[in-house]
Chains A and B, each alone.
Chain A
Amino acid sequence: MAESSDFRTLKILDRFRPIIAKTGADYDVLRLILRVKFQMDQRRVPTVLSARNGNKKQKEGNLYLRSLWLYALMGLIMVPFVVWDTGHYMLQMGLVTAMLMFMIMTSMISDFSSVLLDIRDRNIIMTKPVNGRTVGLARAIHAGVYLLLLTGSLTAAPLVAGLIAHGIGFFLLFLVELVLINMLILVTTSLIYLFMMKFLDGEKLKDMINMMQILLSIGIAVGYQLVIRSFSIIDFNMVFTPAWWQLLLPPVWYAAVFELLFGGGGDAWLYTFSAFAVIVPMVSLLVYVKLMPSFELYLEKMAHAGQASGRRRGGWDRIMAKVFSRSREEQACFRLSASMMRSEREFKLKVYPSMGLSFVLPYVFWFTQLQSSSWAEFRESSFFYTLYIVLLLIVSVVTMLKYSGQYKAFWTFRAAPLANENVLYSGALKAFLCNMFLPVFILNAIIFVWTFGLRILPDLIVIFLVATALIPLSGKLLMRKPPFSQSFSVAGQSDGWLVFAFFPLMALLWGLHVFIRTIPAGIWIYIALLIVINMLFWTMLHRVKRTSVMVEG
């Protein structure tokens, strides 16, 4: 297949042949593996589509590449910070690198972990005469190439802006830093995985990695806030005070280099930060290359089942299922959905971070507000409306409900004598309401009541009822396919816009709420109205036939 060898990336890679050979990898085999990997990536999505379309020639093209322009757009956010001439490189570049690392890291965890942890390679490639280092390096380069493409599109605009605003030196430094940042991200992610694989095995390991991925994506979101926090913003006089704990924040290291070279020198702290920027990626890369063969071996553990855990769950789900639904079929779907949400790793990986984020987001708004007003003022304010942001959870999770890593198991429902497919939808939606939404909402509500006092109780009820009405509605509009019946590979970017479409809706509901509060007793009428809407939505949108209840006597 002569034509498939002309992936541009591989041609570029050929120039690094001597360096790669020096690590002990077999370059020809490495190239071969990468070529096949790229070829497969071009068809990543069609695995599902092709099953339907038979042998018809698919329009090929890497879907990931096609989504890059979106990242290029996101990159525009960084432009003002680059151009902004405050003379405080520490601040502006700190923000830029923080944003950059945030975006790269989240994408790394959610999209490329599967590349780093692909166990299929073991049976297919490791049983052939190929050494472990070659496979490991191929894996790292595979992920690295996409990471570079992603970074490239993200930073295209800021780089050009930097070149125009600050000159060629700035541009070159930025470029070098990008390479270092990518190296750091790729290597540290792999090392964290490696470290965990060493001490755990089987299912426990997978759960652990899953939890790490979730925590990491939430952690990065919070860390992102922390970077902004490390500059005390006092009427536009931004002062940066170095402290030891900033050594733990990579964006600070990279910003320090700019401050050092363009901001007119600096103290010992800046030198330390700058040194970290260069040395840490280098050292971790060396460690990584050393440990690569063991990475391959540890992957075996992923395939190996650990001891069964004797944990018994389901009592709670059974009770809740009985409370929320009457039909036996619906109860079964409720329980299944509840346990899928709790234990399906791929689902958790895609959903839990957005859950964590919608939990934290209101407080980010609080935080910015509290910069300018006192706590006492704040408690009297109408900032409790920020609870509407939690509704983001509904849209982002309900859109994901139709996906599952085990989507093929959906045949069970096709085989089962289900009278009505709607029980699947309503069961899943109710399970979501009860097991995911309620805990998040109640916890938030407690914090809100504690902050704003009991006066907001009616408002909380309104927000809650709006939320519960929104669940069946978004189920009707956004799910379209039965729960857990679709592969994540079809999810891709296409659903991302829905979340953005949600913001105007949220603003509308928010506005309506504010308006109704101006009418005397309006809020009580609104609540009554919402209760009726809720009852209608929950019963009408996913109509469950009652006849099927009587099957067994």
Chain B
Amino acid sequence: MSEKQVLSIEGLRMRYNGRYVLNGIDLEVDRGEMIGYIGPNGAGKSTTVKILLGLVEGYVGTVRIFGKDIADGDAEYKRRIGYVPEVAELYEQLTPAEYLTFIGELYGLSYEDSDYKAKQLMDCFGLEKSYHSRIATFSKGMRQKVLLISALLHDPDLLFLDEPLSGLDANSVIMVKEILTQLSAKGTTIFYSSHIMDVVEKISSRIVLIAEGRVMADGTFRQLQQQSMEGSLEEVFNQLTGFNEHRAIAERFVSIVQEVY
């Protein structure tokens, strides 16, 4: 993979029901970057990712992935992308063995390769015993692990993760974070979208904050800190998105909860 630029977005706009969800997003991402993609609910984060994955059409602007315009109708670029959606949607009636080999084959791996790899990866997560039981019986954390494996099975060059740690226990969280760091060091580009600011702060090499369909801030954590004169990413986030009444609202909330009739 010689190309340095993995992803470029130019003037991306998207309209739903007459309202602009994306208001002109420009972004260039290089190989091996670990991008923390953050923003308030409804800021347009998942819409961006859906456009990049070709799930949504009708946008304005250009999106290039691996140097190719994705609007040309060829789905081939997806072969090098891995995706963990926010909602853990899986074919629950299947076992991980069946599900993961199916996904592997969709990406063009052979049945044997994907089975071999999936089994090993399940083993790493401590799920070797569950490899042949129905996903429907799994806990939230186990499902999330299966989802992570399904996104990584084909060794993607570009990874989109939406709350990848949700439901995982503390030990698995440490492990997944380490996996991501190592993948990134070896050249995988990662788009990490989450609402948990501590994690984003720690693992991202670059943070992109979007709000109201625009890029509000873009840079390393240190740069954002200097820009907004705040300590933690959480505070930076609050400041950049103009939210500073959390204390007052919390007080009101508690007083309503405890109201006596």
User: Given B17, B87, B107, B111, which contacts A129 in the complex, CB threshold below 8 Å?
Assistant: B107
Q: Which of A40-62 contact B (CB under 8 A)?
A: 40, 43-44, 46-47, 50-51, 54-55
On chain B, the number of residues with a Cβ less than 8 Å from chain A's Cβ atoms is 39
- Is A106 part of the binding interface, using a Cβ–Cβ cutoff of 8 Å? no
User: Given A32, A50, A130, which contacts B134 in the complex, CB threshold below 8 Å?
Assistant: A50
- Is A444 part of the binding interface, using a Cβ–Cβ cutoff of 8 Å? no
- Is A131 part of the binding interface, using a Cβ–Cβ cutoff of 8 Å? yes
Stretch with Cβ within 8 A of B (4 or more), from A9-17, A119-127, A268-276, A410-418: A119-127
Which residues of B sit under 8 angstroms from A130, Cβ to Cβ?
75, 78, 106
- Is B83 part of the binding interface, using a Cβ–Cβ cutoff of 8 Å? yes
- Is B105 part of the binding interface, using a Cβ–Cβ cutoff of 8 Å? yes
Q: Are A46 and B134 in contact (CB under 8 A)?
A: yes
- Is A230 part of the binding interface, using a Cβ–Cβ cutoff of 8 Å? no
Q: Which residue of B lies closest to A134 (CB)?
A: B75
- Is A237 part of the binding interface, using a Cβ–Cβ cutoff of 8 Å? no
Q: Are A125 and B55 in contact (CB under 8 A)?
A: no
A201 to B17, CA, bound (A): 9
Q: Which of B99-155 contact A (CB under 8 A)?
A: 101-103, 105-108, 111, 133-134, 136-137
Q: Are A127 and B89 in contact (CB under 8 A)?
A: no
Interface bits A106-138 vs B (CB < 8 Å: 1, else 0)? 000000000000001011111111111000000
Q: Are B137 and A32 in contact (CB under 8 A)?
A: no
- Is A242 part of the binding interface, using a Cβ–Cβ cutoff of 8 Å? no
A130 to B76, CA, bound (A): 8
User: Given A36, A55, A129, A306, which contacts B102 in the complex, CB threshold below 8 Å?
Assistant: A36
Q: Are A128 and B55 in contact (CB under 8 A)?
A: no
CB distance from A62 to the nearest CB of B (A): 12
Q: Are B92 and A47 in contact (CB under 8 A)?
A: yes
Are A32 and B75 also in contact (CB < 8 A) when A1-B111, A50-B134, A126-B54 are? no
Inter-chain CB contacts under 8 Å: number: 93
- Is A300 part of the binding interface, using a Cβ–Cβ cutoff of 8 Å? yes
Which residues of A sit under 8 angstroms from B92, Cβ to Cβ?
47
A4 to B111, CA, bound (A): 12
Q: Which residue of B lies closest to A297 (CB)?
A: B57
Are A129 and B106 also in contact (CB < 8 A) when A122-B55, A124-B89, A300-B55 are? yes
- Is B183 part of the binding interface, using a Cβ–Cβ cutoff of 8 Å? no
A39 to B91, CA, bound (A): 10
Which residues of A sit under 8 angstroms from B27, Cβ to Cβ?
none
Which residues of A sit under 8 angstroms from B105, Cβ to Cβ?
32
A132 to B56, CA, bound (A): 12
- Is A304 part of the binding interface, using a Cβ–Cβ cutoff of 8 Å? yes
Which residues of A sit under 8 angstroms from B107, Cβ to Cβ?
128-129
Q: Are A128 and B94 in contact (CB under 8 A)?
A: no
- Is B77 part of the binding interface, using a Cβ–Cβ cutoff of 8 Å? yes
- Is A372 part of the binding interface, using a Cβ–Cβ cutoff of 8 Å? no
CB distance from B20 to the nearest CB of A (A): 15
Are A51 and B136 also in contact (CB < 8 A) when A120-B91, A125-B106 are? yes
Q: Are A128 and B136 in contact (CB under 8 A)?
A: no
Q: Are B78 and A127 in contact (CB under 8 A)?
A: yes
Are A129 and B134 also in contact (CB < 8 A) when A1-B101, A123-B85, A306-B17 are? no
User: Given A51, A120, A552, which contacts B137 in the complex, CB threshold below 8 Å?
Assistant: A51
Q: Are B134 and A127 in contact (CB under 8 A)?
A: no
CB distance from A76 to the nearest CB of B (A): 33
Q: Which residue of A lies closest to B151 (CB)?
A: A127
CB distance from A172 to the nearest CB of B (A): 39
Which residues of B sit under 8 angstroms from A120, Cβ to Cβ?
89, 91
- Is A307 part of the binding interface, using a Cβ–Cβ cutoff of 8 Å? yes
Q: Are B101 and A47 in contact (CB under 8 A)?
A: no
Name 13 extra pairs, CB < 8 A, besides A46-B136, A50-B134, A54-B137.
Answer: A33-B106, A40-B93, A43-B93, A47-B92, A47-B134, A47-B136, A120-B91, A123-B83, A129-B77, A130-B106, A131-B75, A297-B56, A306-B17
Between A and B, 26 residue pairs with Cβ closer than 8 Å are: A29-B106, A36-B98, A40-B91, A40-B94, A46-B134, A47-B92, A47-B134, A50-B134, A55-B134, A120-B89, A124-B89, A126-B55, A127-B78, A128-B78, A129-B77, A129-B79, A129-B108, A130-B78, A131-B73, A132-B75, A201-B16, A300-B50, A300-B55, A300-B56, A304-B16, A306-B17
Q: Which 3 A-B pairs have the closest CB atoms?
A: A43-B93, A129-B78, A129-B79
